[in-house]
Structure 1
């Protein structure tokens, strides 16, 4: 066991984590090193898994025997940018306002991460019959780009886990399902010229239109296809989110691109929903996948659901509309559930906050998991 740090409260730890401006798509190694040192000081087995980008990493740590099946506590350490003018202070310096702990990432989802770390001294003091793993990922906000590298390494790091608890904000209510997502970029290249002579150029925006028409038609068609009443709306969706190109109305546009996303109910492949669009793109457009992750669907009768309902003291919620990394853990054969502090309505907004009560309740829930595994 390494030299232990001064015991830090969950609130202390959240302030430390918020202080690292780990905006999605940027470096996070200083934060990861702080967490690694903290965990090693309590005897955890820590693996820092640097991603192909080189300047950011996942972290996987185990308290207990990694050769025994245990449970993963999963969080991400990246946050969305915080450039909104409505912030009343530095978003990367946590502020206290009554019971509110304010800062970028407090709710989504460094609050859960801090609660997990605050529970580590208690977990380390227990004789656990099954281990508790801590999985912290990067670039979740870019479409879950970081965690697949960590999931691929799990067979080398531990026995197949019994379950994964993803601590996205749900009011500490277990959630059984979410939609999957895929995002696609279409690019068209044209030939510029004066708009009075379109015969001497190639209009890149016009080249996008067949694929965009196919996207609009697919969006309408999905409304009458597979339904799942747990979701709102109850069907898979598709939308064109961004279209841009050209320079001026009297110049033939030589470039154009569109960003399209799908949200798929459980049992539907979000990438497959793009098939009509890709078919229309043919060889005339560049097609690039931006991101994708599968839907989550945990059966109500699962052992993990029963455990989390007991630990949280709340009945499960059928589904949420936002996506998480839980679908990827499930795809890897690990039963997964979402259960974390706060409310998603506070995320990605100025003055984002978590309350002290929510933070401490999360730490208590994680300690209960340890006690359950020590019985």
Structure 2
């Protein structure tokens, strides 16, 4: 195949508007074709939605423990004001390459694809796998379906590198997260006769109070000083309800989230709130609980083999922790070591004129090629 640079591949990937929650067969098809031409064994894993898929590829002997490079193909919508160019067309500005997903995280995908042909040309003693997911931006919804298939796809990898933007410095930990949407259904009526209705906003006060009390209790610990703040947290993010001041509100919706330090189940932090919701059924309210996202924390020891490997590959001691979440905790939950390391900066993500530097792409390609050299030994 004709070799493509990371920039050329990134230009193609940015050109696919693979916005979270939308069909992604076009970008999956292009990546699958590229990988097959590079000599990889490729499997497309369609998700239960039917219109989007994960992708898994292997170079080398799949029946031996190797390493896995993980990334997501989806991006957030480019609706922010301030874009100075088409967000789905790569734009060069000096050493910067701008476009939606350049940092988060099509830059990493481009580097992995650019490095693969050289790696495929080696006789690998251990395999390199690529695992590209969908709908990560909706709370890591796509990758669990891929992870469930891993035992059928390859021997358990020795480690997984999640290429979220980290400035090419590895990161050993992040908090876990659980988010939920709560809907309360009451009974509408004129505000002059509250005795004939069921006020959904009034009833939601029980839920809100439990959430605020839980959030306050979490500040007392347990603690992990690698994080800021060093404790688990909970917050109410949105609330909607009511039509007019003189109408008893028939419905109220709240969205909230919990973020948990390692060793704390994020979904468990919402248990008391869910209990309050169930109690409202006895008062005649219709209740609905929808899990929006859930993933565990990542916690990798400083002396773990994968942490030491990334220190060698990048020349930098891994950072202890970051505040944002990734798919890494889900991979670690299967029993394999996982770590974050990728080009770009999370501070540029989800913003107008998102960009990545030439030097970041080059450093990532070098890291992946160096990993390939180790797999050939």
Same-fold call, TM > 0.5? yes
Match of 1:149 among 130, 145, 157: 145
Q: What's the offset of the Cα at 1:226?
A: 0.4
Look up the match of 1:333.
335
Q: What's the offset of the Cα at 1:211?
A: 1.2
1:37 aligns to 2:37 (yes or no): no
Superposition pairs for residues 76-91 of structure 1, below 5 Å? 76-91=72-87
1:122 aligns to 2:115 (yes or no): no
Look up the match of 1:73.
69
Match of 2:346 among 320, 344, 350: 344
1:227 aligns to 2:223 (yes or no): yes
Q: What's the offset of the Cα at 1:249?
A: 1.2
Q: Distance in 2 between matches of 1:258 and 1:10?
A: 43
Look up the match of 2:259.
263
Q: Distance in 1 between matches of 2:273 and 2:329?
A: 25
Q: Distance in 2 between matches of 1:15 and 1:333?
A: 36
Q: SS where residue 130 of structure 1 aligns?
A: coil
Q: SS where residue 133 of structure 1 aligns?
A: strand
Q: Distance in 2 between matches of 1:355 and 1:309?
A: 21
Q: What's the offset of the Cα at 1:85?
A: 2.0
Find runs of 4+ consecutive structure 1 residues off by over 2 angstroms. Answer: none
Superposition pairs for residues 9-48 of structure 1, below 5 Å? 9-48=5-44
Look up the match of 1:308.
310
Q: SS where residue 358 of structure 1 aligns?
A: helix
Deviations 1:92-137 (A, max 9, x none): 1110100110000000000000000000111111111110000000
RMSD over aligned CA atoms reads: 0.8
Q: Give 5+ residue unaligned stretches, structure 1.
A: none
Deviations 1:329-354 (A, max 9, x none): 00011110000111110001000000
Superposition pairs for residues 1-375 of structure 1, below 5 Å? 4=1, 6-283=2-279, 284=281, 285-375=287-377
TM-score (norm 1): 0.98
Q: Give 5+ residue unaligned stretches, structure 2.
A: 282-286
Q: SS where residue 62 of structure 2 aligns?
A: coil
Deviations 1:293-339 (A, max 9, x none): 00000111111011010001110100000000000000011110000
Count of aligned positions = 371
Q: Distance in 2 between matches of 1:288 and 1:85?
A: 31
Q: SS where residue 66 of structure 1 aligns?
A: coil
TM-score (norm 2): 0.97
Q: SS where residue 60 of structure 1 aligns?
A: strand
Greater Cα shift, 243-252 or 345-354? 243-252
